[in-house]
Amino acid sequence: MTGRHVVDYVAAAGPAPTPGPAAGVDAAASEFERRAAPFAGQEAPAEQPDRPAGSVTVMGIWSRLVGAASNDMPAELVVVIDRESVSMGDDAQSHRSELRLQAGSLLSDLVERSSPDVRVQGWSWVAVVDSTVVAVWSVDHGVVLLVPDRPLTVSDPDGIVQVRFRFLGQLDPTWLHARLAQGAPLDREALTAEHAPLARAVLEHERREREAATTARLLGPTCVRALEHLGAVVDLHSDVLCRFDIGGVAWQVERRDSMTVVFGRGRQSPLASLRPVGLAERWVLAVLAVDRRTADGLDPLPDAPVRAGAEPVQLMVAGRARAVEGSSGAVVAQLRDARDVGSLDLVLGRDLDEVVALFSLSGPGA
């Protein structure tokens, strides 16, 4: 049985779709002949009027192909893909790309094949196809549709499908899908604000689990005792994080890659980013001691010589001045406030015990 016989057989087997231009049908027939080659020499199956609705047969497949040809749907769809940037500098190059899919490909396959090239666990994306929100995509869960899966249909006469991925950051993909399925608007700021309490709870749980899972600690016992001497109450301490409270003010020392980042004084942005962690220990103690001395009406800095002052570098990092000892960069301090450079100068060239003695941070607590 030739490809032409297949077309004739399908046309006789059910209601024929509205014919398109002759040229389109001839082209479709040639395509059918190619696809029907494996069936050459086979007799057409007898009619089965009692076959359940929805059964998939060769006849049904060819019927859909004939219908597509008669409606002049392109055999191949052009998918134009774009995504939002995830950070500063990510938009230096265009994220626009194209791929081609056969007509009739499923929506879920389209989303998966066009998914973002930035693949980070915990990040969520929302796929918008021809202005319709259709799915949540993530490395963790893949494609989770918000609409029923279906063969692609296009209104564009050239068969072009527009796909754009909206970046929703670290919103939990399962939570995001549930909210969008419930009808929540695709508003990143509103969804982020709504998700924030859940995100904080998850982060706190992960931090507590890490604290319990290891005996390693970011700050050494000498530093912790000196902090307690200043009135610190340590709330959480693991190998990557130390969180404490002094006089109702929260402080946090956190390791990020090779740097140790310090938060405090009620500010959301870091006070300092230092390397190595030993320098961070000494600097935190000095800064807290200087703040205490200032509050007590004393001179901020004790009368002590500077042994190895920081060498200023003409560079701003995220709006903060950067100071470096020497030129190797092995010891680095990026400071937010110029007033904290004096504390840095005092601790450079001194070990932890010397800093504790310099600020009288041993013995009975404050």
pLDDT in tens, 104-125: 899 999 999 999 999 999 999 9
| Predicted local confidence at residue 329, as pLDDT | 64
What residue type is 19 in one-letter code?
A: P
Contact 136, 173 (CB under 8 A): yes
Contact 334, 274 (CB under 8 A): yes
Q: How many CB atoms lie within 10 A of CB 310?
A: 21
Between 209 and 268, the higher pLDDT residue: 209
Asked if the peptide bond before residue 19 counts as cis, ω within 30 degrees of 0, the response is no
Q: Which of 175, 221, 217, 227 is nearest to 196 (CA)?
A: 175
Give me the numbers of helices (H) and strands (E) for the chain, helices first please. 10, 14
Hunting for tokens 């279906």 — which residue is that?
Answer: 150
Q: How far apart are the first and last CA of the chain?
A: 97
Q: Whole-model pTM?
A: 0.65
R_g (Cα) of the chain, nearest Å: 33
pLDDT tens string 117-165: 999 999 999 999 999 999 999 999 999 999 999 998 887 877 899 999 9
Instruction: Identify the CA nearest to 259 among candidates 321, 329, 347, 200.
Output: 329
CA dist., res. 119 & res. 150, Å (int): 26
Is the pLDDT at 12 greater than 90, yes or no? no
* Structure token digits, residue 27: 């082209």
Contacts of 97 (CB under 8 A, 6+ apart): 81, 82
Q: In the predicted model, what is the mean pLDDT of residues 215-223?
A: 98
**What percent of the chain is predicted at pLDDT more than 70?**
73
Q: 159 versus 180: which is more confidently predicted?
A: 180
For 212, the token pair is: 């319990």
Q: Which of the two residues, 26 and 332, has the higher pLDDT score?
A: 332
DSSP state of 266: T
pLDDT, residue 320, reads 56
Distance (Å, rounded) from C-alpha 243 to C-alpha 262?
Answer: 10
What is the predicted pLDDT for the residue at 72? 58
In the three-class reduction of DSSP (H, G, I as helix; E, B as strand; rest coil), residue 25 is classed as: helix
Position 249 confidence tier, pLDDT thresholds 50, 70, 90: very high
Lowest mean pLDDT across 36-45, 227-236, 341-350, 357-366: 36-45
Instruction: Provide the token pair at 17.
Output: 């779709």
Sequence-ordered list of residues with C-beta below 8 angstroms from that of 104, at least 6 positions apart, any chain: 64, 68, 151, 152
Say which amino acid occupies 361.
Answer: L
For 97-104, what is the mean pLDDT?
A: 91
Over residues 40-74, the pLDDT tens digits come to 444 444 444 444 444 444 333 333 333 444 455 56
**What is residue 285's predicted lDDT score, i.e. its pLDDT?**
98
Mean pLDDT of 297-308: 90
Rounded Cα distance between 318 and 269, Å, is 10
The pLDDT tens digits of the residues spanning 313-332 come to 544 555 555 555 443 567 88
